[in-house]
Structure 1
Amino acid sequence: MEDILLGKVFRRDSRKRVSLRHMDQEKPFVSLDIEELDGYMKGLGNGCLFIPDLADAEKLTEYSVDERFLKNFLAAATAEDIQDRIREYSEILKKLPKGLTSILVRLPGREGLRNFLQKFLKMSKVVEPWEDSISSSLELVERREMKAQRIDIQKAIRLVFSEGGLLQDLLPEYEYRQEQFMASLEIAESIVNENGIMIEAGTGTGKSMAYLAPIAYACVSTTNQAVVATRTRVLQDQLVKKDLPVIKQLPNLKDLRSVSLKGRERYLCLRKLYENLRIVSNGMLARDTAWEIFGVILWSILTPDGDLDSLALEDDTRMTLAGNRFDCTRRLCPLYDACPYYVARDNARNADIVVTNHSLLFSEANLRIMDGEEEDFEALGTLLPSFRYLVVDEAHEVENSLTQAMSFTLDPAEVVSSLKKVIKSVRSCFGFLKRHFDEEFLRKLWAKMNTATEELEGIMRELVERGRTLSSGEKRAFTKETLPELVEILFKMADRLQIHIAVSGQTIQMLEDVREQSEGKGEELSIILKALHAELREWARQIAGITAMESSKVVYIHKQERLNGNGLKITSSPVQNDRIMSSVFPNVKVKIFISATLWVYSKGSDGFNYARRVIGAREDYPAIRLGTSFDYTQQLKFFVPSDMPDYRPNSLSYLESASQFIETALSIVGGGSLVLFTSYDDMKTTAARIEKNLEGITVNIQERNDSPAILLAEHINSKRSVIFGTRVFWEGIDLPGEQLKLLIVYKLPFERPDEPLIEARIKHYGPRNPSEGMNKYYYPKMITAFRQGIGRLIRSKRDHGVVIVLDARLVDPDRPYSKKLLASMTPGIEIKSARSNQIFTRLRSLKKEEWL
């Protein structure tokens, strides 16, 4: 490996320099100014340079190898030493087809990366065409023999989870948890008795294992199948890659079949990959995009599942390569048998346990409600045609997940944007097609599209004009009088939109007809137009969904929202989520709902009334609340400032006091802090007031469309970091130990009661009077969200920290919800009301004692 160099950047005499050595030598043999680096590397011929731990190494010189590319598309090498990692990458490359070098030579730039890849690909003994290797590593799941094992599920669970049990033997660091043992026994009993159950299992219970083990034994002992649904795809991946491999080591579970199943848009579309590769070969893509496409080709040969979530890709590249239900040709596709999505679906049919997410689960439920319960897997979409057991993890999110899956949204401005892109693309296509088709025919198509465009723009102007009576940010429900007018307008929109869909579809077909004569140009135009064609079909689906709700048996709320400027958004959402949930998978008797926050104190009840309502369960649906293994009396300090003004929307007094308090608290504690807001505007205003005064502290502020993962990564890598976040940070965020020591809650997480959907649900759950709806729905919803938020702090037995809630309504006995909220808190949490200066003194003391 004499042509592979290792480098290290350093400064000397205020100049940036780099030291270099060959991989097979121990000491640096040359030191250069950065400006001299390219010339030196060119003199080596086909050399390449590795600079470990330098994020922008590839920008240093064209000969730098971007190790992020290798980790992303080959595999994350496990060795700490850079030389050992290079050897790991080289061994992977030697097993890939030699013919991939024919693509490499056409890629622009990145000389070092190209030289490295080419060096080891040439050493490969795989001489078959590389195309034959695509999807060759996809794992195929075969159905287990249908002979059931005789297993006493409850006895097996006792052996697994009891003190000194099998799980303790498997996992050296495993600690017996009584709550986990109890949860697993309750689930096992539900399976045996074939009924459902709701379980609140506190943070740290180990609830994933608690439900996976009994479900696994049930599947093996009965030959039935199970579906496990999580809120996020991150947890979905954790179950499949981390938890289920442990479960399979238990007795009698060696042959357990488990798979992960996501929506079509999460998987690689092979047809799109080949189409884009042809464009790469013709040199018609930007450098970085071309390299990403090649990286996906490498990955497509190695991936066991074709799940694009495992890759870091630019959004445009991901969308270009991902499956899409609008342009998928299904069994007509020549690559159907190797398609990762359809392989995943087949695997799901053969698996014992299918792990999916709420979004896909309820989208599937929506299809089944609309289409009936026919056993047609292709028609129903994505999940198993039938399953016996259903586990819904993070069950407190059922209402939000179901609402999202069954709502329809229309943004006229975005429709116009899509139309403009389609028209521009069709014009480019016609310019190319006039060499192959009759110009008069193309002119007529163009005139037809122009007429439809003018009419459609007029209809949308009328729609937007009707929303001008709203003030910016205001939401208003359509009434019985105004809704028919909306439906009539939407029917007109749908009619004109179908013309655009027809013309773009016909244009795509013409491009396909002349593919062989196009020399790549027609294919490039076709790919672009197909993506836009899919956009139009999605808008048509949204419009059809909104208009169809009028004939639905479920009550929907149709609302319009005035966006910034002259924008308008129309949304239709189901009000009666409880009625929908009661009809979801009606033939599945064993439904297990589990979460850390399902219980809400209610005088004279078991505390699960609210949870039963939102999941549509009967009044006697079994439920149990388990404790937590954490000692909150020792691990958590909880304060509420008593001298804060009362919170009111847009209150300047509250904003000033809260900002000042947050600034002082953060200055004392420093990093490892999280401030939770319910309003983006409150968060931005507060940050603007205090950020400049927090010396030495990095304030990571969530932007509207930011992924929390980006902010979390920046926070974790800094000891002096603070996160300002809104709703997305109230749950599902795991920052153990020093990463989170102080949690500040700006205000109680109430939804706006005048938001049309919330207002409609308050009326739905309180038909007699508003107070009934507030007590049965509105207050419990806030309490559940609040418990989720403060649950971010203590994530393990070793964690300790401080929660400060700035909203004094929490402890105000005159508030109708305060007693209910305080009684709903996890046992052991003691809330102290004190003046701000007393809280600051306590924080300084805890900091001095190194408790914080």
Structure 2
Amino acid sequence: MSAERLAPAVRELLRAEIAAAHGREVSFVARPDPNGLIVEARVVARGTVDAVLALPGVAVRGELLLHNHPSGVLEPSGADLTVAARLHDGGVGFGIVDNDVTDCYVVVECVRPRATTRIDPIDVAALLAPSGSVARALGSFEDRPTQRDMAAYVADLYNEGGVGMLEAGTGVGKSYAYLVPALVWARENGERTVVSTNTINLQEQLVGKDLPILARALGTGDHSPSFALLKGWRNYVCLSRLDQAREQEDSLFEDERRAELDALSAWAARTSDGSLADLPDEPSGDVWDAVSAESDLCTRLKCPHFDRCFLFQARRRAAEADVVVVNHHLLASDLAVRMASDNWQEAAVLPPYRRLVLDEAHHLEDVAAMHLGAQVSRLGVDRLLSRLEKNGRGLLPTLRSVLFGRDDLLSAASRDLVQQSLVDGLAAARRAAEDVFTRLARRLDREPGPAPVLRLRDEFLEDAVWEEGLGVALDNLLLAFSRLSEGTAMIADRLALDDPSERRAQLLGELRGVVRRLDAAAAGLTATLRPPLGGPAAVRWLERRGRKTVNLSLAAVPLDLAPILKENLFDRIETVVLTSATLAAGGDFSYLEERLGLDLPPSRMKVREIHASPFDFAEQCLFGIPTDFPEPRDDESGHGAAVARVLVELAHASDGGMFVLFTSHAALKRAADAVRNSIAGRWPLFIQGEGQRDHLLRRFREAGSGILLGTDSFWEGVDVPGRALRVLILAKLPFKVPSEPLTAARLERLEARGLNGFAHYLVPNAALKLKQGFGRLIRSRSDVGAVVLLDRRAVTKPYGALILEGLPRASRVVGHWADVLGACEEFFARHGIGAEERAVEGGRER
């Protein structure tokens, strides 16, 4: 093939770079035009005469990796073909030139863009205008120019491909701004969009409210927009496992759990959804474990309930939908499966997709870290072993009853195997697990603090705990898991030969599912306690979790997600829209760009825009920062007393209607104990941990003058428009705890690069978190209220300006608490807040 595929300027560039490398091999990334002519090229690596350094992730879909063969022989080597195959999976081509660039041999063509019908950004934005079809479908409509601007940007991203970061302040209406282009694109091109969110609340808003309205607004005679919500496997009840649990309830459950099973069966007969969220009362963990859908237990088409299966109904709806709504956890699971199987074209956990919207995108790194790592817990191991047998119930008693029901020699041999290999092996595994986790617990007890965490650094392999017996205990547990896994697999194979009928398929699936989980638990223990040398950098730790049920947990997660996300998500997906109310820290996107691997070339990163809230914060919101209270880090007790004082005094001024947000459960508990007696009789008091989150929120909205104390889960994803929420107290700046293992490791990595971890990680992260918390108060144009930040560092420390820079432009009062309280009282009086309380007080004085 001649070099006519290369534009003259590209040929000259390649010749010059090869000559400058003295004839050694050089790698280039080239971009062809729509006709296949290579019109741009850039050097990405210089290697030796023998090999080319092929860097993963440097080329994106539609580009071509070129390198020269100094010999002039353009026949691809074995290494060339391996690289070409890997690149092809990502839509990247591969070619070879000679040193003079007179010949060019394209081994694998790059994926050329599909012929698509462009959507006009102006027309898309017009759909959201006061005279547009969306306004007509809504009936009452609020004109939002920033929403139309954002929709036009999203439409451009669909047309051109690439990645966009679009921050949208409260009130912009970002969901319509990305859903309308997605639905129009699907109508014109038949391509689905996956929309991934972090919170259930946003998922419910999209599927239960926004998408049904937009489907009515944008539907035509030829096309009716479709959408689907897809959840993870364990969110759905499995009808086959439910049948099995009912048949074997005597051997699986104790008496008090059978009533739950009866209720589940009645619900499963009438529900059309079949997911945990549809249940009126959440079942106990062991009952749901026995009946929930599991991918490695599913018999799929062999299942007698396949046609009615809730999970596969949801998957079928998703496969046909224009928009599929998922959460970040499911998206990360899909990514992990695709990476492990090298499947980028077919369905995995999700249907194949080329257009992705990441809403609440600032959470992606932490969610992906946990899904792409390994976790093992004491309760998880106990639950896995109990699945085999506990108190005479479980798979082994069920298996014994099946085998004793047969009278042939093969069944007799299988019964012996169950007793010798499985029952005895299970007892050995239980003893070994108890030994391992007891030794780990004792080691953790040596760490300081009320909730100790032990970072498992490389030097942990030299810790005294190994000589004290952990090494032998771990060997025993891994050996017990291995024998139990082998025995379970063997009996499953024998049972399949002995009774291949479909009625045994579920039991076989359960047994083989246990095998896979035993193998995964063994791999997790190895990854966390004895990682292989030379593996990818990971953060490993041991901690206690849970407040009601204490659980010892081991975790190992990748230290740097950026290259993983860049190569496997942002370089592969045609269009990616990242949006949130908090993408930029102090107006700068670089923090999240670095964390997520978004250091992309301009040809790929198409837009970074901040769409400010349309609300009049200067009129609607007062922002107070008292400066005469102790700093939380210097005087924890004094700061806690200040929080309690401000809470009570502001409650009197506003007649309740208050959120108080903390950064730790301990601080929340201290405040609750301090104010409970003085305010609980006057205003309804709702405390996180003393009820389910959604239940607390509903009761708060209904109360009208309640006071809610919450931690992390209330800082975002909570929407209380109207007068029910009129005061927001932020107890302190929401810095991550620097000693937490993952945070500490990220800080160390930055320090190793010569960067200040506090400035480059903790400060921008706190800025985003504070902006999320601040955004809980003003949710509509008619909302009014006051935000009080009880952390003077925001105005006394040099970093405070960056943290405050991204907040809405509310009227700000900084000074002594008496001055801030006075300003709040004047603001409340001007807006009629707390009028009933003042009337009562006035009546008492008269």
Q: TM-score range by the shorter chain?
A: 0.7 to 0.9
The 3-state SS of whatever aligns with 1:249 is helix
**Cα distance in 2, alignment partners of residues 566 and 222 from structure 1:** 52
Question: Alpha carbons of 1:266 and 1:795: their partners in 2 closer, same or farther (altered >3 Å)?
Answer: same
User: In the aligned structure 1, how far is the partner of 2:227 from the partner of 2:531?
Assistant: 37
Match of 1:342 in 2: 312
Q: Note if 1:703 corresponds to 2:689.
A: yes
Q: 1:641: how far off?
A: 1.4
Residues 455-482 of structure 1: per-residue CA shift (max 9 Å, x gap): 4433444444443432342323222232
Aligned equivalent of 1:267, options 230, 233, 236: 236
**Is it true that 1:480 corresponds to 2:449 in the alignment?**
no
Q: Is 1:825 aligned with 2:807?
A: yes
Q: Once the two structures are superposed, what CA deviation does each residue of 1:478-537 show, in whole Å capped at 9, x if it has no partner?
A: 222325888977665343224344556778899999999xxx9x9999999999888756
Q: CA deviation at 1:279?
A: 6.2
**Cα pair 1:744 1:803 within 8 Å, conserved:** yes
Query: What is the aligned counterpart of 2:761 among 777, 784, 793?
Result: 777
| Residue in structure 2 matched with residue 327 of structure 1 by the alignment | 297
Give the residue type in structure 1 aligned to 2:459: E
Q: Which residue of 2 aligns with 1:448?
A: 425
Equivalent of residue 279 in structure 2, options 296, 300, 311: 311
Q: Structure 2 CA distance, aligned partners of 1:535 and 1:313?
A: 28
2:622/2:827 contact within 8 Å kept: no
SS at match of 1:749: coil
Shift of 1:159: 2.5
1:722 and 1:223 map into 2 onto residues whose CA distance is: 49
Q: TM-score, normalised by structure 2?
A: 0.73
Alignment of 1:315-394 (within 5 A): 315-316=283-284, 317-377=287-347, 380=348, 382-385=349-352, 387-394=353-360
- Compute the displacement of 1:388 (Å): 1.7
Q: Distance in 2 between matches of 1:551 and 1:352?
A: 46
Distance 1:490 1:169, change over 3 A: farther
Counterpart selection for 1:738 from 723, 730, 741: 723
Of 225, 228, 234, the match for 1:256: 225
1:660 is the counterpart of 2:635? no
Q: Secondary structure at the match of 2:752?
A: coil
1:745, distance to aligned residue in structure 2 (A): 0.8
Structure 1 residues 297 and 683, CA gap change in structure 2 (3 angstroms): closer
Shift of 1:570: 2.0
Q: Distance in 1 between matches of 2:765 and 2:227?
A: 34
Q: Tell me the distance in 1 between the aligned counterparts of 2:387 and 2:325.
A: 38
Q: Deviations over 1:339-388 (max 9, x none)?
A: 222232233333332211111001111222222135453xx3x1123x22
The answer to whether the 8 A contact 2:268-2:274 is kept is: no
Q: Which amino acid aligns with 1:347?
A: R
Task: Give 1:716 shift.
Answer: 2.0
SS in 2 for 1:648: coil
Identity across the alignment (%): 24
> Hey, what does 2:599 align to over in structure 1?
618
CA shift at 1:672, angstroms? Answer: 1.6
Q: How does 1:27-106 map to 2 (within 5 A)?
A: none
**Cα 1:461/1:515, change in 2 over 3 Å:** same
| 2:650 partner amino acid | A
Question: Structure 1 residue 717: deviation in Å?
Answer: 2.5
Partners of 2:651 and 2:496 lie apart in 1 by: 61
**Within 2, Cα distance between the matches of 1:528 and 1:768?**
48
Is the contact between residue 276 and residue 293 of structure 1 (CA under 8 Å) also seen in structure 2? no
Q: Which residue of 2 aligns with 1:171?
A: 138
Contact 1:164 1:176 in 2 (8 A): no
SS in 2 for 1:739: coil
CA–CA distance in 1 between the matches of 2:568 and 2:507?
Answer: 42
Contact 1:398–1:614 under 8 Å retained in 2: no
1:228 is aligned to 2:213 = no
Q: Structure 1 residues 453, 507: closer, same or farther in 2, change over 3 A?
A: farther
- Report the CA distance shift for 1:164/1:820 in structure 2 as closer, same or farther (over 3 A): same
Q: Could you say which residue in structure 2 is the equivalent of 1:401?
A: 367
SS in 2 for 1:234: helix
Give the Cα separation in 2 of the matches to 1:523 and 1:332: 8
Structure 2: which amino acid aligns with 1:579?
P
Structure 2, gaps ≥5 residues long: 1-113, 406-410, 835-846
Q: Does 1:675 align with 2:652?
A: no
Q: Is the 8 A contact 2:625 2:788 kept in 1?
A: yes
- 1:833 is displaced (CA, Å) by 1.2
Amino acid at match of 1:697: W
Q: Give CA-to-partner distance per residue, 1:197-241, whole Å, 9 cap, x none.
A: 100111111111100111122222223232111112332232223
Answering whether residue 540 of structure 2 is matched by residue 558 of structure 1, we say yes
| TM-score in terms of structure 1 length | 0.73
- 1:141-290 counterparts in 2 under 5 A? 152-251=119-218, 254-278=223-247, 288-289=259-260
Supply the distance in 1 between the matched residues of 2:651 and 2:612 (Cα, whole angstroms).
Answer: 32
The answer to whether the 8 A contact 1:740-1:793 is kept is yes
Q: Deviation at 1:163? A: 4.1
Equivalent residue of 1:762, what SS?
helix
Partner of 2:613: 628
Residues 561, 569 of structure 1: 8 Å contact kept: yes
Aligned mates of 1:368, 1:290 — CA distance in 2: 36
Whether the 8 Å contact between 1:659 and 1:686 is mirrored in structure 2 is: yes
> CA 1:825 to 1:844, structure 2 compared with 1: closer, same or farther past 3 Å?
closer
**Corresponding letter in the other structure for 1:477:** R
Are the aligned partners of 2:296 and 2:509 in contact in 1 as well (CA < 8 Å)?
no
* Structure 1 residues 343 and 494: CA distance shift in structure 2, 3 A: farther
Distance 2:232 2:522 in 1: 20
1:632–1:829 CA contact under 8 A, matched in 2: yes
Tell me, yes or no, if the aligned pair for 2:297 and 2:509 is still in contact at 8 Å. no
Contact 1:359 1:401 in 2 (8 A): yes
What are the Cα deviations for residues 726-753 of structure 1, in whole angstroms up to 9, with x where unaligned? Answer: 1011000011112211111111101111
Change (3 A) 1:657 1:707: same
2:51 aligned residue: none
Q: Is the 8 A contact 1:554 1:580 kept in 2?
A: no
How far residue 702 of structure 1 moved from its aligned partner, in angstroms, is: 0.8
- The answer on whether the counterparts of 1:658 and 1:806 sit within 8 Å (CA) in structure 2 is yes
Task: Call closer, same or farther: CA 1:452–1:848 in 2, change over 3 Å.
Answer: closer
Amino acid of the structure 2 residue aligned with 1:241: G
Q: Residue 184 of structure 1 contacts residue 214 of structure 1 at CA under 8 Å; is this kept in 2?
A: yes
Q: Higher mean Cα deviation, 694-703 or 471-480?
A: 471-480
Deviations 1:771-818 (A, max 9, x none): 2x2222211001100000010000111111111111111111xx2311
After superposition, the Cα gap between the structure-2 partners of 1:644 and 1:420, relative to the gap in structure 1 and judged at 3 Å, is same
How big is the shift at 1:571?
A: 1.6
Contact in 2 for aligned 1:554/1:579 (Cα 8 Å): no
SS in 2 for 1:368: helix
What are the within-5 Å matches in structure 2 for residues 555-634 of structure 1?
Answer: 555-561=537-543, 568-585=552-569, 586-601=571-586, 607-618=588-599, 620=602, 621=605, 622-634=607-619
Contact map agreement 1:464 1:566 (CA 8 A) in 2: no
Change (3 A) 1:163 1:423: closer
Q: Give the SS at the match of 2:162.
A: coil
Please give the secondary structure, in 1, of the residue aligned with 2:630: coil
Shift of 1:395: 1.1
Check conservation: 1:151, 1:217, Cα contact below 8 A: no
Alpha-carbon spacing, 1:192–1:805, altered in 2? closer, same or farther (3 Å): same
| Aligned alpha-carbon RMSD (Å) | 3.7
User: What secondary structure does 2:568 align onto?
Assistant: coil
Alignment partners' CA distance in 2, 1:503 and 1:713:
51
Q: How far apart, CA to CA, are the structure 2 residues paired with 1:769 and 1:836?
A: 40
Structure 1 residues 722-761: aligned runs within 5 Å: 722-761=707-746
